[in-house]
Structure 1
Amino acid sequence: MAIRVSADGVWENSTGYTLTNDAPLGIGAWSSVHLAIPSEDRRSISTRAAAADTPPATPVGRSAQGFSKLTVSPPSRQSAGAAGGPPPQPHQQQPGFASLNSVKTGKVWAIKAPTNKTAQTVIRAEAHILSRIFSWRPQPKKPDYFVPFHGLDPQTGSLIMDALPLTLDDFINEDLATLQEPSRSTLVAQVLPSLVTHLLQGLDWLHHEAGVVHADIKPSNILLRPSRPAVTAAMLQRRLQSAASFAVGASLAAPSLLRSTADALNGDVSSPEKALRHVSFTPLYTDFSAALSLRPDAPVSAPSSGDTDTTPPLSPTQAAGPVDSTPSTSTTSSPPALPTPSPIAAGTWDFLAPELCRTATPPPVPTPCSDVYALGITFLILLTGHSPFDAVAQGNAIRRREMIRAGDAVAFAGMEQRGARALREYVDVE
């Protein structure tokens, strides 16, 4: 894998890849996310796809700057040139796209592509934070707190990461929401202890070792990696197969972790609910587009030259050690500047700590404490199935924001019947 460190401390990865589909996994304010197969792992890609000279046509074309629009895939690294021609037909293998079979046999990447020129700035800043995190020493013995990062594509300005099949938000709304009580309670009680422990440990490492505040923790920014590799592969496969067409706005359905787990057991269970006790996954933080550093940057080092794996080592041989945060005794050195949040990337209202909702100049800055608060709201949503502010707000945005500013999320969650029952079951609210 060809990775170099840029002058501004970003891992840049020039490895080629082929997109698997024109339908995005997801669309955000600054990016769209697509699946791809790195060139080293294109064992099942058709000859036509591998030898493509031009990127696949898209319904709306490319912008003049080469950045993808919200519903358009990023340019394929297997080719360079402007898109054109008629839109591709559904269910047909397109030039420049990897075949679905490659998902089963090769490593799958998620390509987070900027949607415009402003978004490119946001994504490069995110790549800088991730390069710092993945270069840091000492790393945990098994650094499983963050979605593996493979660098920034210098050609398209896209982030390259491991592809994972679902978010915690998908699990809450696609799996837990379909279960009847007490099955839902059984599954929540099963996954909650390890999920809470792992996410808290990861957040502690992020704050105290890497010196980074995430600033946008929520269920959709926590990806789940199923413990069974076959489940991961099957779910990625189904996400691709769910795209019925390449029409503008096409999306990929989130498959059920329960059903995929049941299928992986080779018919040992007859329904998804019977697979409850077999559901297991590792939660990983993702989306550092709003993140900020708590202390001056340390040098970022590239993976060691002897590493031939497609995944950069998380503890590079020449990685920099932690920055000493002890104040300097020198009378000539000035104190480090306070971190400032991104002027264009920000957090999400329901997860904002009350102190971040103040109107002030300069605006309040996210802190490790506000990250912990956001994670607490995330746990509440897992327990109750919805935001703690839903029941009382009743769709009134002004009321909702005043509730968020009040900071009493547990009390608000308990005002709704299901929330009150969940709190009595899992939390000591006496």
Structure 2
Amino acid sequence: LFLVYIMPIDPISSKRASATPSSLYVGGPTVDPDLLANPSILRIEIMANPPVQLSLQTAQSKSPPVSTHVPSSLTPPVTPIAKERPPRSTPSPFQDPKAEQTPSISKDNASPLQFTDDLEICHDENNRSIEFGRGVWSMVYKARSLPRPQTNLPGTPPSSPTSRSQVLAVKAPLRRDARPVLNAEALTLTRLTLTQGHEQYVVPFHGYHAELGALVMSAIPTSLATYIEDQSKLARTRQPTTATMFDPVQGPASYQELARKLITGLNWLHQVAGVVHGDIKPQNILLRPIDTDDCDEALDFPYEPLYADFSATVDIPADADAPVDTTRASMSSFTPPFTAPEMLASLTSSEMAPTPASDVFSLAATLLAAATGDLLLYPNMNHRLRLEMARAGHQIIDFARSGVSGSRVPRDGFVERIVKPAVAKDPAMRVTTPEWAELASA
């Protein structure tokens, strides 16, 4: 609702002729005819919130045109600037994922990010290549990047180096049929790298080395599997007490922070990046140390867990009825008990692909292993029995309680509250990652 009054203006002094409005109306389409007949300049002032001034000029006026920008009488005109952007912040795991997703790159992109520097594989004192690890498809070497020298025009001084040598992890194919798998993984890592928030959740990817058919990533030698084993050994050296025997091996505060970070990262993969990891286990999670010099107080868990090994990753289809791409290495290898029971039941089927629910189960089993300190979860069992127990994965908490570290999973404790809703027998009944992230942060 606008309150409009019209005030005649003296064309010489540009001052109001009278302090009393000559015509006053609210929202009316007409103006006092006597004022419109007057050839003098009229100023229409629209009273609103906030106040805005508009100046009109009659055809008979000889005054120069008035700018559409009305400067304040106290400040100079404002220089036009671009619209201010809000500061970037870490996406909340509870926000609408579609609002957070960045249209970074098409899922059908056919060209991965390329690594252009030279590589030098590191060797030990016996001149053997240093390996970080190996799997079914590949082996991971320790390497150094060697930036290629820049060419300078004649007569110009040499340019300063733009980058320096750094330690890298090079994931190279172990066999001939592994190249398509690694190329597909390079495409996935390229998409993830171009998606907002990847720095906190995914191993840094530097590009695909076409000549070697290899992936080049930052070297982060410590895996969650190694961390769990170290914490388990430490726990065995301490005298058990009734105060600590019911806690996770790394301590309750540290475990809760680990769980929160891992679940938040999985929520990012599903809801923002739109992918299913497909092979979550302690060996495929790397721990990047946090620089404690930048922290005001000691951290409960001084690492950033980063997901790695995306060779089994598939896209989450926008249409639930759309066919799923099963050409990846989804079920080429599996690790009981970290594989969801429904995936184990479909080992002979080429149509079954990992789902968000199977990822949730795998991370729950990983968190259970972190609590007990036992990477096998079912100790003192042969492979056949472990596989049978893994097929009944909805009973995984009971199986863990029957082990030597079962006291670390007390009933109604934090570990059970986090793991239980994620291992339901029916995949459709398992907790979703947004709900799970909220539960872990409570």
Q: Same fold (TM over 0.5)?
A: yes
Structure 2 residue aligned with 1:379: 367
SS in 2 for 1:9: coil
State how 1:312-323 maps to structure 2 within 5 Å: none
2:302 is matched with: 280
**Against the structure 1 CA distance between its residues 371 and 341, is the aligned structure 2 distance closer, same or farther, given a 3 Å change threshold?**
farther
Alignment of 1:31-430 (within 5 A): 31-40=138-147, 106-136=165-195, 139-140=196-197, 143-179=199-235, 180=238, 181=240, 182=244, 185=248, 187-228=250-291, 280-295=302-317, 325=318, 336-340=322-326, 342-343=328-329, 345-359=332-346, 361-387=349-375, 389-391=377-379, 394-407=380-393, 408-423=395-410, 426-428=414-416
Q: Output the CA distance in 2 between the equivalents of 1:351 and 1:106.
A: 37
Q: TM-score, normalised by structure 1?
A: 0.58
CA contact (8 A) 1:149 1:160 kept: yes
Give the AA of the match of 1:29. V
Give the number of the structure with larger relative contact order, counting CA–CA contacts within 8 Å between residues 6 or more apart: 1
Q: What residue identity is the alignment partner of 1:115? A: L
CA distance in 2, matches of 1:291, 1:39: 31
Is contact 1:388–1:409 with CA below 8 Å preserved after alignment?
Answer: no
- Using the alignment, how far apart are the partners of 1:279 and 1:143 within structure 2? 18
Q: What amino acid sits opposite 2:115 in the alignment?
A: N
Listed as ranges, the gaps of 5+ residues in structure 2 are 1-105, 124-128, 150-163, 421-442
Give the 3-state SS of the residue equivalent to 1:204 in structure 2: helix
Match of 1:321 in 2: none
Identity of aligned residues (%): 33
Listed one character per residue, the Cα deviations across residues 111-165 of structure 1 (whole Å, up to 9, x for unaligned) are 11111211112111111111111123xx13x731010001110110110001012
Contact 1:113 1:158 in 2 (8 A): yes
Using the TM superposition, name which of 213-222 and 402-411 deviates more. Answer: 402-411
Equivalent in the alignment of 1:17: 119
- Between the aligned partners of 1:401 and 1:20, the Cα distance in structure 2 is 38
- Of Structure 1 and Structure 2, which has the larger fraction of its residues in helix? 1
Structure 1 residues 168 and 366: CA distance shift in structure 2, 3 A: same
Q: Is the 8 A contact 2:253 2:300 kept in 1?
A: no
Q: Distance in 2 between matches of 1:157 and 1:113?
A: 7
Q: Which amino acid aligns with 1:339?
A: D
Change (3 A) 1:342 1:187: same
Deviation at 1:384, TM superposition (A): 0.5
Cα deviation, residue 7, structure 1:
7.2
Structure 1 residues 185, 150: CA separation in 2 closer, same or farther (over 3 Å shift)? same
Change in 2 beyond 3 A, CA 1:361/1:169: closer
Q: Cα distance, 1:219 vs. partner? A: 0.4
The normalised TM-score by structure 2 is 0.57
**How many angstroms apart in 2 are the aligned matches of 1:36 and 1:147?**
16
Q: Is 2:225–2:375's contact at 8 Å kept on the other side of the alignment?
A: no
What is the rounded CA distance, in whole Å, between the counterparts of 1:280 and 1:345 in structure 2? 34
Kindly indicate whether the alpha-carbon contact (under 8 Å) linking 2:248 and 2:372 is maintained by their aligned counterparts in 1. no
How many residue pairs get aligned? The number is 278
Distance 1:422 1:388, change over 3 A: farther
Q: CA deviation at 1:185?
A: 4.8
Shift of 1:414: 0.6
Partners of 1:185 and 1:212 lie apart in 2 by 30
Deviation at 1:428, TM superposition (A): 4.8
1:396 CA drift (Å): 2.7
Task: Note the residue ranges of structure 1 that are not aligned, 5 or more in a row.
Answer: 43-104, 231-275, 296-324, 328-334
AA matched with 1:18? E
- Which letter maps to 1:380? L
SS at match of 1:37: strand
What do the CA deviations read for 1:34-88 (whole angstroms, capped 9, x no partner)?
122212399xxxxxxxxxxxxxxxxxxxxxxxxxxxxxxxxxxxxxxxxxxxxxx
